[in-house]
């Protein structure tokens, strides 16, 4: 099936976030795709307002499927270089599906402090939620077959794209939890 | 192909950590990379992650060692595991229970992991061979044989300060003969591609044919320290000083103790390491131990992250 252009979805996502002028967000990207998005978003928002340094989150140590699949070979470190206590945090991820990655990310954030609020931005919301998680900002909502994984990519020029792959094909090499 | 390494399963996945010998570089690097992420955890206000929640880890210390046991205990607790410390030298064994009976009993209590310290070389291997599938064994030091987590935390420290392994000259100084740490260090360093590993010691404290491990031998410390990037000092045990191996601790310090003058022979940015506890004035001068080239205390800190990495990699692999 034809997939939307990730660059257009990104622009829509940015517009939605900019339209919410009430909160001055501190950005936290979730490895790996969420970090790519958050890096660009952070640059863009920094041009018009003072921003806290970008936070990076790896939910590897907070996953609920560790017993089944263990640790990924390449665990990336988390780094939250601002005070979480009292901050309005905007979590950024590429694809939202089950909500389990976001649940793990929220748990981890609370080990850094007590934020005033946590909002969620996702480039694509696939639905299929297994937990009561809601994204305040999305680029698009797509309904896709469950056996397909929506892969978010960034090329050498920093340009975003989306592709669909079979779950079975990438089950051994997939970096993150099914979103 | 027959899998001869008892640490790896048929898919070459780590099931136990018993020695650095024979482990591929990919697994050593996986442990070091995972430990990098755990360093961040140990620097937070909440120094805990839920990864091993519900797992039972038994510290089986058949030989006393407060320091090592404590670091394993901290590592396990920071992973949210339940930790049980058993000082077996004064309990079951003194009542006549055999080593394997003890292991069977603890297995029946649904243990997930054993951390084993034993005075006999090979004890951890024996327990790993005997333990039920699904129970992982970490060797926390066995006789003169191996101390793999100490070697791995040393590798982690070297990589943190020197970034790469392939361009380093590294010297291990002291009692190589009786040191399980030195053996594990040598295997890890050569596997990770360190081009020149030197051992510096009197003949009485070197194993025969040590060159077979791929090291260069020096008896003169001044010659051995030239152009060195990393100095790994070893603890000299008191019984070696009193026994036939050495004339006196003063004599040893004169020839093999690391003083500021001797350290100046190494590269100006050389780092000094020691597995602890140190004998100040025997193998190392306090000026060096507390000096700005010493990374001895960071080694202790990194030891927690490395042990967290080993435990979580093992616990994540189901049989």
Please write the tens of the pLDDT for every residue from A5-24. 999 999 999 999 988 867 78
Could you identify the residue written with the tokens 């080593």?
B99
- Mean pLDDT for the stretch of residues B207-233: 95
B271-273 vs B113-118, strand pairing mode = unpaired
Contact B272, B258 (CB under 8 A): yes
**Euclidean distance between CA atoms A77 and A6, whole angstroms:** 26
Residue A146's φ and ψ, nearest 5 degrees, are -65, -30
> How high does pLDDT run on average in chain A?
89
**What pLDDT score was predicted for residue B63?**
85
Interface contact B317, partner A, CB < 8 A = yes
- What the block records as the tokens of B248 is 């006196």
Q: How distant is the Cα of B39 from the closest Cα of chain A, in angstroms?
A: 9
Looking at per-residue confidence, does B96 or B154 come out higher? B154
- State residue B243's pLDDT score: 64
CB–CB contact B51 A61 (8 Å): yes
Tell me the mean pLDDT in the region A134-144. Answer: 94
**A75 chain-B contacts, CB cut-off 8 A:** 33-34, 36-37
Q: What is the pLDDT of residue B92?
A: 57
DSSP letter at B291 equals: S
Q: Which two tokens stand for residue B219?
A: 């008896």
The two tokens of residue B289 are 């131990």
A170 pLDDT band, cuts 50/70/90, is: low
pLDDT value, residue B249: 82
Q: Would you state the structure tokens that stand for residue B240, as one six-digit string?
A: 């070696």
Cβ contact B112:B90 at 8 Å: no
Query: Which CA distances in Å does A120 have to A88, A100, B141?
Result: 11, 13, 47
pLDDT in tens, A77-108: 899 999 999 999 999 999 999 999 999 999 99
Inter-chain CB proximity B33 and A112 less than 8 Å: no
The C-alpha angle A24, A29, A33, rounded to 5 degrees, equals 140
Q: Which residues of B touch A112 (CB under 8 A)?
A: 44-46
Nearest C-alpha of chain A: how many angstroms from B258? Answer: 36
Quick check: B182 pLDDT over 90? yes
Q: In angstroms, what CA-CA distances link A49 with A45, A92, A136, B307?
A: 6, 18, 21, 43
**Is B265 in CB contact (< 8 Å) with chain A?**
no
For residue A123, pLDDT over 80 is answered with yes
Q: How many CB atoms neighbour CB B48 within 10 A?
A: 15
Helices (H), chain B: 25-42, 66-78, 99-108, 123-130, 148-162, 180-191, 221-224, 238-242, 249-256, 260-263, 286-289, 296-315
Exposed, middle or buried by CB within 10 Å (0-12, 13-18, 19+), for B2? exposed
pLDDT at res. A61: 92
B88-100 per-position pLDDT tens digit: 765 656 666 778 8
B305 touching A (Cβ < 8 Å): no
B50 at interface of A, judged by CB pairs closer than 8 A: yes
Contacts of residue B41 in chain A, CB cutoff 8 Å?
61
B30 pLDDT above the threshold of 60: yes
Q: Tally the residues of chain A.
A: 179
3-state DSSP assignment of residue B302? helix
In terms of pLDDT, which residue wins out, B18 or B1?
A: B18
What pLDDT was estimated at residue A175? 42
Predicted confidence at residue A69, as pLDDT, reads 78
Express as a percent the part of chain B with pLDDT over 90: 73
B126 vs B69, B123, B131, B295, CA distance in Å? 20, 5, 9, 35
């Amino acid at each position: 099936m034809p997939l939307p252009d990730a660059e257009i979805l990104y622009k829509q996502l940015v517009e939605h976030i900019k339209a919410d002028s009430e909160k001055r967000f501190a950005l936290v990207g979730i490895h790996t795709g969420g970090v790519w998005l958050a890096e660009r978003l952070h640059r863009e928002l920094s041009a018009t307002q003072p921003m806290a340094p970008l936070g990076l989150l790896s939910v590897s140590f907070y996953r609920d499927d560790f017993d089944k699949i263990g640790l990924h070979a390449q665990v990336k470190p988390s780094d939250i270089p601002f005070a979480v206590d009292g901050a309005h945090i905007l979590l950024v991820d590429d694809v939202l599906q089950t909500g389990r990655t976001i649940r793990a990310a929220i748990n981890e954030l609370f080990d850094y402090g007590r934020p005033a609020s946590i909002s969620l931005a996702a480039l694509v919301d696939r639905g299929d939620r297994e937990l009561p998680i809601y994204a305040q900002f999305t680029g698009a909502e797509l309904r896709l077959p469950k056996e397909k994984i929506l892969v978010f990519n960034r090329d050498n020029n920093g340009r975003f794209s989306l592709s669909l792959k079979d779950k079975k094909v990438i089950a051994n090499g997939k970096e993150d939890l099914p979103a | 192909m027959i899998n001869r390494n008892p640490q790896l399963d048929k898919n070459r996945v780590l099931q136990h950590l018993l020695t650095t010998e024979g482990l591929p570089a990919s697994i050593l690097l996986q442990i070091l990379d995972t430990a990098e992420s755990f360093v961040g955890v140990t620097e937070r206000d909440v120094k805990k992650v839920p990864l091993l929640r519900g797992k039972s880890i038994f510290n089986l210390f058949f030989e006393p060692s407060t320091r090592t046991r404590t670091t394993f205990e901290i590592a396990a607790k920071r992973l949210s595991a339940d930790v049980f410390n058993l000082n077996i030298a004064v309990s079951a064994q003194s009542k006549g229970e055999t080593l394997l009976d003890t292991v069977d009993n603890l297995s029946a209590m649904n243990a997930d992991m054993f951390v084993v310290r034993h005075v006999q070389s090979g004890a951890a291997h024996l327990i790993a061979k005997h333990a039920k599938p699904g129970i992982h064994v970490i060797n926390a030091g066995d006789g003169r044989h191996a101390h793999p987590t100490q070697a791995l935390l040393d590798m982690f420290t070297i990589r943190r300060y020197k970034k790469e392994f392939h361009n380093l000259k590294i010297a291990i100084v002291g009692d190589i003969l009786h040191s399980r740490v030195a053996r594990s260090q040598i295997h890890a360093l050569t596997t990770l591609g360190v081009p020149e590993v030197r051992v510096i010691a009197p003949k009485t404290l070197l194993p025969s044919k040590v060159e077979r491990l791929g090291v260069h031998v020096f008896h003169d410390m001044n010659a051995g320290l030239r152009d060195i990037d990393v100095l790994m000092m070893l603890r000299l045990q008191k019984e070696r000083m009193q026994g036939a191996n050495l004339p006196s601790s003063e004599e040893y310090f004169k020839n093999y103790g690391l003083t500021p003058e001797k350290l100046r022979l190494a590269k100006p940015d050389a780092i000094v390491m020691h597995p602890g506890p140190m004998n100040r004035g025997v193998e190392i001068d306090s000026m060096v131990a507390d000096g700005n080239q010493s990374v001895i205390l960071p080694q202790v800190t990194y030891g927690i992250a490395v042990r967290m990495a080993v435990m979580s990699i093992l616990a994540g692999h189901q049989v």
